[in-house]
Amino acid sequence: MSKKVTNIGVLTSGGDSPGMNAAVRAVVRTGIFHGLGVYGIMRGYAGMIDDDIHPMTGRSVANIIQRGGTILKTARSKEFMEYAGREKAYYNLKKRNIDGLVIIGGDGSFRGAQKFSNEFDIPCIGLPGTIDKDIAGSDTTIGFDTAVNTAVQAIDKIRDTMDAHDRLFIVEVMGRDAGYIALHSGIATGAENIVIPETKTDIEELLSSLMEKEKRKKLVNLVVVAEGGEFGDANELVKIIKERIPTADIRVCILGHIQRGGSPSCADRLVASHMGYYAVESLMIGRNNVMVGVINNKIHYTPLDKAVKEKQKIGQEWMKIVKILAS
């Protein structure tokens, strides 16, 4: 793993997130600045297997920093889960003398990188590109800030119609296994209740809270639900509430994939650029098989195997804050 890196490949894998293009841009231009050959791998690991790999120049990444999505496209690859698929990918890299990889994605992408690197001696650097902010080793991930701000803007608009009609709104945000978008957007928009996968929800307490607010004529209530909440999606939660509070005027809004799209925020552009730069620097000095993160506003390196085993944890004090501020 200590051999000198001369050509690097960059790919985006898993779910797209705003800021991936800024990270790709940083990797490409930093690599070129240091005299490395840089290749863009299309559609993640699927493109590596299909030999959809192309040399990149500074112009290849011009005018992309403000764009959502990813110019390299992304896909999930079942074939890469098999040794034969990874071997095929390796030979496609080898014929171009690509001897280092930067993988922008989530924990599934990092698991693939770790296995591939161990089998074929290709050093890999991971950049946390996911709107869920669920990877240990970084205070934030590329795309989270944009996604949560998109959710906040949408919920603010929903609050206007809630207030006009004295309604209870259940808003579902993304986060099948992680409740950070729900938590942050819920607190920022004054939600009365927040349902997240990490914390067991006391449904009786939630219902009592809503009934108590109804008695004191607080008819405008907001519940923000992560899609992976304990009671399933927002529609399932509505059924439970309706059974116990039949007089409640309830509406559901599922924000869905609008949270993934859109121009990345300034914060996401900065963090992606910062991480992309240090990904290339790491490969050059032989710091391999790590994820580049940010902790306390400083670059932090976490071994890939640790990053995929651990999850970013939500402290219980946050849920206490929600209850106090929503009273």
Domains within the chain, CATH numbers bracketed: 7-143+264-309 (3.40.50.450), 146-260 (3.40.50.460)
How buried is 206 (Cβ within 10 angstroms: 0-12 exposed, 13-18 middle, 19+ buried)?
buried
Cα gap 105→127, rounded to integer Å: 6
Mean pLDDT over the full length of the chain: 90
Cα gap 91→264, rounded to integer Å: 35
Instruction: Note whether 117 and 124 are within 8 A (CB).
Output: yes
Q: E strands of the chain, at which residues?
A: 7-12, 37-41, 53-55, 100-105, 124-128, 168-173, 193-195, 221-226, 250-254, 290-295, 298-303
Cα gap 273→22, rounded to integer Å: 6
Cβ atoms within 10 Å, residue 313: 10
Give the catalytic positions in this structure: 132
Which of 21-30, 172-181, 203-212, 250-259 is predicted most confidently?
21-30
Residue range 102-158, pLDDT digits in tens:
999 998 899 999 999 999 989 999 999 999 998 889 999 999 999 999 999 999 999
Read off the pLDDT of each residue in 72-100 and give the average, rounded to a whole number.
96
Instruction: Give the strand order in the sheet containing 290-295.
Output: 53-55, 37-41, 7-12, 100-105, 124-128, 290-295, 298-303
Cα gap 25→80, rounded to integer Å: 25
Cα gap 9→6, rounded to integer Å: 10
HSE, CB side, 13 Å, CA atoms: give it for residue 164. 6
Per mean pLDDT, which range of 70-74, 295-299, 305-309 is the poorest? 305-309
Owner of token pair 């005027």: 249
DSSP 131: T
Tell me if residue 208 falls in helix, strand or coil.
Answer: helix
Read off the pLDDT of each residue in 32-54 and give the average, rounded to a whole number.
97
Instruction: Give the strand order in the sheet containing 193-195.
Output: 193-195, 221-226, 168-173, 250-254
Cβ neighbors of 208 (< 8 A, separation 6 or more) are: none
Whether the predicted pLDDT of 319 surpasses 60: yes
Residue range 185-195, pLDDT digits in tens:
999 999 988 88
Q: What is residue 18's predicted lDDT score, i.e. its pLDDT?
A: 97
Whether the predicted pLDDT of 54 surpasses 90: yes
Whether the predicted pLDDT of 12 surpasses 60: yes
Tokens matching residue 25:
């841009």
Q: What is residue 312's predicted lDDT score, i.e. its pLDDT?
A: 67
Residue range 159-184, pLDDT digits in tens:
888 888 877 899 999 988 888 999 99
Q: What is residue 306's predicted lDDT score, i.e. its pLDDT?
A: 86
Whether the predicted pLDDT of 309 surpasses 80: no
- The H-or-E segment that residue 159 falls in is helix 144-165
Residue range 233-290, pLDDT digits in tens:
788 888 888 888 888 888 899 999 999 999 999 999 999 999 999 999 999 999 999 9
Read off the amino acid at residue 124.
C
More confident residue, 50 or 135: 50
Q: What is residue 139's predicted lDDT score, i.e. its pLDDT?
A: 93
